Amino acid sequence: MAHMYNWQLENWPEFTFSVGGLQEIAIAFAKESGLVNGLMLGLNEQTKQETLLEILVSEAIKTSEIEGEYLSREDVMSSIKNNLGIDHKPLVKDKRALGVSKLMTEVYNNFDQPLTNELLQNWHRSLMSYDVNINAGAWRSDLAPMQIISGHYGKVEIQFEAPPSVEVDKEMRRFITWYQEPNYQLNDPVSAALLKSAIAHLYFESIHPFEDGNGRIGRALAEFTLSQSLQMQVSLSLSKTIEKNKKLYYEALKSGQSSLAISDWVLYFAGVILDAQIDAKEMVQFTLRKAKFFDKYAQLLNDRQSKAINRMLENGTSGFTGGMTAKKYMAITKTSKATATRDLQQLQELGALLQKGEGRSVSYDILM
């Protein structure tokens, strides 16, 4: 018997699920969300803006990495700053960064708009506008099956096959009807928001309405759904969390797309949302420590030291791998070994850096 996908089953798209275990995740999410909102309220406008930028940049980079596209952080940062009206002269070399950055800011700024197929198509137009080979903003129309495959030449495995292109318009109209009128018997609005976000992502990915970009649009949709359901802008990066264990994500998605009973998928995705909110809290805390660090040391650093410190802080909570060494400092600041050694020793004496190791294995970590 041939493998059946969810959209081929008799009761499609009537998903069934148990909400056992969901409330526990919802309580933890509400707590973390409250902590993030409290921290954000305590930030000045500049630090708040920096935090928002970090979250949007992280989401743009990681949602692209999940699809095997590796974008320059500098390109993404510049493009998002331009979209937010912070920097009006973006120097972006990679057009893909322009597309995903525009998508991120549109989703973030317009979470209070009603979801329509026109809005989804506009998102796709923004994302794929750089690619002349893609019919940006239009449903797929190819008569060949839309298959999600894995493996390599000679050993290809079909992970999922989406509904035929001729069915997409009908399926997407039905999707929007479901989105506008979900019928959940849940009194807890946070549980309901987690549930709707999980189903919206799975449902959308199962239709796979576009020629390309479905994963990036679908993850943006999940964040949009969460914010809209909670009637507040939720600041987190689902893709950063998903990318940490991409294999588990694809396994959960494959399992969810083979049945209409999706309890496991709902709990998996709600857990992803919770982990992303915890990560966002840590990012806000990091940004706060960073602001305090520069308040203390900014006037004491020369231009080389400022550049090196900013590079060390660029990776956020994941840290600067291996610490700063004289060799790395020389590469970042384009200076001599003697100057690098002197600058680093001065930063240590100020209390800005902590020395580890001795001799040739000396490295430095930031004290924050």
Give the model confidence (pLDDT) of 136-155 as tens digits. 999 999 988 899 887 666 67
105-131: per-residue pLDDT in tens? 999 999 999 999 999 999 999 999 888
* Rg (the chain; Cα; Å): 23
Q: Is residue 202 packed enough to be buried (19+ CB in 10 Å), middle (13-18) or exposed (0-12)?
A: buried
pLDDT category, 317, cuts 50, 70, 90?
confident
CATH code, 6-286: 1.10.3290.10
pLDDT score for 2:
56
CA 173 distance to own-chain centroid: 27
SS in 3 state form for the chain? CCCCCHHHCCCCCCCECCCCCHHHHHHHHHHHHHHHHHHHHCCCHHHHHHHHHHHHHHHHHHHHHHCCCCCCHHHHHHHHHHHCCCCCCCCCCCHHHHHHHHHHHHHHHCCCCCCCHHHHHHHHHHHHCCCCCCCCCCCCCCCCCCEEEEEECCEEEEEEECCCHHHHHHHHHHHHHHHHCCCCCCCCHHHHHHHHHHHHHHHHHHHCCCCCCHHHHHHHHHHHHHHHHHCCCCCCCHHHHHHHCHHHHHHHHHHHCCCCECHHHHHHHHHHHHHHHHHHHHHHHHHHHHHHHHHHHHHHCCHHHHHHHHHHHCCHHHCCCCCECHHHHHHHHCCCHHHHHHHHHHHHHHCCEEEECCHHHCEEEECC
pLDDT score for 100:
96
- 1: pLDDT strictly greater than 50: no
Whether this model's pTM surpasses 0.85: yes
CA 346 distance to own-chain centroid: 38
Mean pLDDT of 48-53: 90
Mean pLDDT of 7-24: 95
How far, CA to CA in Å, does 348 sit from each of 318, 332, 343? 22, 18, 9
Q: Is domain 301-366 given the CATH code 1.10.10.10 in the classification? A: yes
Q: How far apart are CA 78 and CA 140, in angstroms?
A: 31
328-346: per-residue pLDDT in tens? 999 999 999 999 999 999 9
Of 83-92, 131-140, 156-165, 235-244, the least confident: 83-92
Average of per-residue pLDDT values in the chain: 92
Tokens 């850096």 belong to: 353
Q: How far apart are CA 9 and CA 270, in angstroms?
A: 25
pLDDT score for 106:
95
* CA dihedral sign, ordered 210, 216, 222, 223: negative
CA-wise closest residue to 210 among 124, 100, 143: 124
Residue 158: left (phi > 0), alpha (psi -120 to 50), or beta? beta
pLDDT score for 43:
86
pLDDT score for 93:
82
pLDDT category, 318, cuts 50, 70, 90?
confident
Mean pLDDT of 58-70: 95
Evaluate whether 6-286 and 301-366 have a shared fold. Answer: no
Task: Name residue 155's amino acid.
Answer: K
Q: How far apart are CA 220 and CA 100, in angstroms?
A: 10
Tell me if 280 sits within 8 A of 236, measured CB to CB: yes
pLDDT score for 343:
97
Among residues of the chain, what percentage have pLDDT more than 90? Answer: 76
- 285: pLDDT strictly greater than 70: yes
- 347: pLDDT strictly greater than 90: yes
Each domain of the chain, given as residue ranges in start order, spans: 6-286, 301-366
Among residues of the chain, what percentage have pLDDT more than 70? Answer: 98
